[in-house]
Amino acid sequence: MKKLLVLLVLLLPFLILTKLKAQQWSAEQKEVWKSVETYNELSANRDAAFINYFDDSYRGWEYNYDAPDSKENVKKILANRDPNFKILYSTLIPATIWVNGNFAYVHYYYTILGEGKDGKREWEKGRWTDILMKKDGKWIMVGDHGGKTSK
């Protein structure tokens, strides 16, 4: 019983700090995050509507690219993805959601489990920063930066 009490006393500060650090998102932040979740799901499902979340002015920079890409280049990349690669599992975890009027940025982490034609499964983890603009009532990307950080 004494050991249990000592353990509880040691763990209590961590439990309290964890609760205090939990983020409460505003309605605006939740709206932005919903867009991020939506276009990531469209991308995972290879839905062509994904490109509708890119403004014509978009410039994005994936870690393994030498320079930022345009919306037109993203269309080409999407058209040339391996059709046999399936996403079996994916998760997004927001780190920061900042909103100021019609502009926002979101820092988030992702994890994906995919499977190739040969049945080989692959984990991918990474992070992104998406820069969004509200246009015609919809949050769309004007820029992003990120990509895979490890397997």
119 in a structural domain: yes
CA dist list (Å): 73 to 64, 77, 99, 118, 131: 15, 6, 27, 28, 18
102 in a structural domain: yes
Residue 37, Cα to own-chain centre: how many angstroms? 7
Model confidence at 9: pLDDT above 50: no
Give the whole-number percent of the chain exceeding pLDDT 90. Answer: 77
Task: Please count the other Cβ atoms lying within 10 Å of the Cβ belonging to residue 36.
Answer: 22
User: Domain span at residue 104?
Assistant: 26-150
pTM of the full predicted structure?
0.82
8 in a structural domain: no
